[in-house]
A and B are shown apart, each in its own frame.
Chain A
Amino acid sequence: MRTFAEVDENNIVINIATFEDNQTPVDLGWSGWYETADNIRKNPAGIGSTFVPEADGYPMGLFYPPSPHNSWGLDANYEWGPPADKPYPDGYGEPPSTWYWDDNAEDWAEATPAESE
């Protein structure tokens, strides 16, 4: 089985579907479908992903996902990151850092432990 992503006229993924190895969209005469998997085109495609037909290092193009957080930006490598004036806090994502991105405030905040049971 192989997985293909259907892309609309704006290069937005509108579906992902499964096909037999010998019955791909090309074989079926379906247009606008591009193969997706873990190890090709940078990221696996999902509905809402964007397809970039030509990108450095990716001759078959790449997919990048929607932004994971409000107000984050896309860099030249098609990676999402916080705004330039709000860089990652030291140690972000590793204990004991308690920083997280607050999507409502669109800024970093520090979490406090929840009440124990």
Chain B
Amino acid sequence: MPFGSSKAALMGAAGGGSTPVEFSGYDAISTSGDYTYVTYASSGTVTCVNGGEIDLILIGGGGGCASYSGSNVGGGGGGAVVAGAGVEVEDGTFSLTVGAKGNNTSAVNGGNSSIYIAGWYLYAGGGGYGGQGTWGWAQAGAAGNSVANGNITPTSPYVAAGGAGGGGGIWYQYQTGSGGPGQATATSGTGSGGGTWTSHTSGSGGGGGSAYNNYGRGGGGSGGADGDTGSDGKEGYNWLNGSSYGSGGDGGNGDNVAWTGYGRGSGYHNKSSQDGALIIRYLT
């Protein structure tokens, strides 16, 4: 587990003076209103050059599905989100793991994102895969990754969000697979950087219903929206920048609800699932 961060400075909360917060090593930077946003979309290191108060969101990888070209297959669940506000980060370099999207030709959950920053161990579990839907088999969608099901092994103090469940597959008029259960956020202790953190349970995948509705069910959203007996993937967590992350993939029908954003599960219309990410914002 590459959590071996090497903090360059451990003295006091940085950024309290006139020096603005600054990060380096990111994949993208943008400004909107009073804020600067930096995005890390791959594993490696996050360097805080000048510490201070930040908001952040960590997103797990979206759940895969057995075949996103098959309309009978369930949509993948959204990757979990951990969002913190008013977090005091110190100067230093921190190891980041960005959970990969679940494979889109096999039943594979998304990967877990994790980082140790601001005195917290943060985890965002991958979304559950969408169930296979083929002749002879209506597979259940999978649960998202979480502490409760053993797919995340946390170190305290932590905030560990569980991923959304994948939708169930359909075997034409014969069987419907159940949806994977959405997973809760687990916490332990208090990190030195404080802040206010999300504590929600991700949505479950859709499942059941009439097998004559011949489309796989939609994946759950990481914001807490459950799937149902329909095929639409559910929206994920709407963050401070107005974007949704960790949305569910659709199970394939004419409504063509195809969310975008990091951590989205795979689906019939929106195709490939999406990797996770870390996004940090601070006052410019």
Contacts and interface: CB of A to CB of B under 8 A. Distances in A.
B97 A46 contact: no
Interface in B40-79: 41-45, 61, 64
Contact of A44 (B97, B108, B136, B137): B108
A25 B112 CA distance: 16
Nearest to A37: B103
Interface of A (DSSP majority class): loop
B239 interface: no
Interface in B99-116: 99-103, 105-113
Given A1-B275, A95-B135, A114-B174, 15 more contacts: A1-B42, A15-B111, A16-B110, A16-B126, A18-B42, A18-B275, A28-B2, A47-B145, A65-B106, A93-B136, A97-B136, A101-B137, A111-B171, A114-B173, A117-B213
7 contacts: A16-B126, A17-B111, A17-B112, A65-B108, A99-B136, A113-B174, A114-B175
Nearest to B153: A14
A101 B113 CA distance: 35
B103 to A, nearest CB: 4
A92 B136 contact: yes
B212 interface: yes
Nearest to B113: A17
Contacts of A100: 136-137, 171, 174-175
B198 interface: no
Interface string B148-174: 000101000000000000000001011
A111 B42 contact: no
Contact of A46 (B42, B102, B211): B102
Q: Which of A16, A68, A111, A112 has the most CB of B within 10 A?
A: A16
A25 B45 CA distance: 11
B210 interface: yes
Contacts of B184: none
Contacts of B129: 46
B98 interface: yes
Contact of B111 (A1, A43, A47, A93): A47
Contacts, number: 121
A19 B42 contact: yes
B43 A18 contact: yes
Interface in A60-117: 65, 68, 92-95, 97-101, 111-114, 116-117
B106 A43 contact: yes
Contacts of A11: none
B39 interface: no
Interface residues on B, range: 35 or more
A19 B44 contact: yes
A93 B138 CA distance: 11
A17 B213 CA distance: 35
A16 B106 contact: no
A25 B1 CA distance: 11
Interface string A21-48: 0010100101000000010000111111
A93 B100 contact: no
A-B pairs, top 10 by smallest CB distance, nearest first, are A46-B108, A16-B111, A44-B103, A114-B211, A111-B174, A16-B100, A18-B100, A93-B136, A3-B100, A18-B275
B273 to A, nearest CB: 11
B42 A23 contact: yes
